[in-house]
């Protein structure tokens, strides 16, 4: 299989969030020749949406996603998602990534939470479509089902897409789905229209924390070329967005070193 084009790399700013604000991340991408960026909304708010949009445009960066909408099982989901759609529109983001939310506080009703999520996405879909913002459901690893997202497999996310119709697709993050025996089949099922984003990093052995111990591409056990091949085989031609939460390692390093390492490791996977 051909190695990936460095021009496909995008920086999800979670990767440098301990070191850099959004303005620094935009400058960092420009400095390192990274052509895409995916901001998180807390950093976007700190910089200001208009200023961020201006700086991103000035540097010619693609916005491969805005992180994040979702959390439909929390109380303020309606207003929060409305704002997220507006921000994604202002940035010209290729999609709004939905981390859909886990169990409501004190609840054990997983089926009920999943219904709330389906209803919530259906509720925001018209205004997202009107704003030209595709919604990308991100299935999260089952170990995050209780606290962050009760959509946990690509099959489940695609079933939801089928029920919802146009304007919604999926974000495939290798960290969340690499283990899934139905991954190849479901990526093929999704096809180009539903595959809105592709996130990369690696699964470390051992993994020391359920949320913030992701690895750099190549440092773990995920067969990244194989999964990329499935994505490309299904017609995905978009960016490869590196997203590494790493309290113990990458968040402690110099951010320019992190970006240089991302570029180097991306080329091999």
Rounded to 10 deg, the angle between the 255-268 and 22-32 helix axes is 50
17-23-27-30 Cα dihedral, nearest 10 degrees: 90
- Tell me: cis bond preceding 62? Omega within 30 of 0 counts: no
Kindly state the smallest distance separating residue 143's Cβ from a second copy, in Å.
4
- Give whole-number Cα distances, 263 to 40, 129, 197, 247, in Å: 21, 34, 18, 20
Closest CB to a second copy among 213 and 249? 213
Residues 45 and 21: their CA atoms lie apart, in Å, by 11
33 to 72: interface string for a second copy, x by CB under 8 A: ----------------------------------------
Kindly state the smallest distance separating residue 78's Cβ from a second copy, in Å.
25
Judged by CB under 8 A, how many residues of this single chain contact a second copy?
A: 28
Please tell me the total number of residues recorded for the chain in this structure: 269
Tell me which residues in 76-115 interact with a second copy (CB under 8 A). 103, 107-110, 114
Kindly state the smallest distance separating residue 255's Cβ from a second copy, in Å.
28
Tell me which residues in 111-170 interact with a second copy (CB under 8 A). 114, 141-143, 145-147, 150, 152-153, 156
Among 20, 178, 239, 251, binds a second copy (CB under 8 A): 178
- Tell me: cis bond preceding 68? Omega within 30 of 0 counts: yes
Closest CB to a second copy among 21 and 142? 142
Q: Which residues contact 207 (CB under 8 A, 6 or more apart)?
A: 213
Tell me which residues in 212-231 interact with a second copy (CB under 8 A). 221-223
Residues 179 and 183: their CA atoms lie apart, in Å, by 8
Give the footprint of a second copy on this chain (CB under 8 A): 103, 107-110, 114, 141-143, 145-147, 150, 152-153, 156, 178-181, 203, 205-207, 210, 221-223
């Amino acid at each position: 299989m051909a190695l990936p084009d460095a021009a496909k790399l995008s920086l999800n700013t979670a990767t440098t969030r301990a070191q850099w604000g959004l303005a620094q991340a935009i400058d960092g991408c420009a400095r390192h020749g990274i052509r895409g960026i995916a901001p998180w909304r807390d950093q976007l708010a700190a910089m200001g949406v208009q200023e961020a949009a201006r700086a991103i445009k000035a540097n010619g960066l693609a916005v491969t996603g805005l992180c994040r909408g979702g959390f439909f099982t929390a109380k303020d989901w309606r207003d929060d998602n409305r704002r997220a759609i507006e921000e994604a529109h202002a940035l010209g983001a290729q999609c709004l990534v939905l981390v859909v939310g886990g169990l409501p506080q004190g609840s054990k009703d997983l089926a009920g939470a999943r219904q709330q999520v389906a209803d919530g996405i259906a509720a925001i879909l018209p205004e997202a479509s009107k704003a030209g913002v595709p919604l990308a459901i991100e299935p999260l690893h089952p170990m995050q089902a209780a606290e962050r997202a009760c959509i946990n497999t690509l099959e489940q996310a695609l079933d939801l897409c089928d029920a919802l119709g146009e304007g919604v697709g999926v974000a495939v993050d290798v960290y969340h789905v690499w283990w899934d025996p139905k991954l190849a089949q479901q990526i093929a099922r999704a096809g180009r229209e539903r595959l809105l984003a592709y996130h990369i990093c690696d699964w470390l052995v051992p993994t020391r924390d359920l949320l913030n111990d992701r690895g750099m591409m190549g440092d773990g056990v995920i067969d990244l070329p194989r999964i990329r091949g499935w994505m490309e085989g299904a017609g995905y031609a978009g960016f490869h967005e590196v997203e590494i939460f790493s309290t113990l390692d990458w968040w402690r390093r110099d951010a320019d070193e992190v970006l240089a390492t991302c570029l180097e490791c991306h080329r091999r996977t």
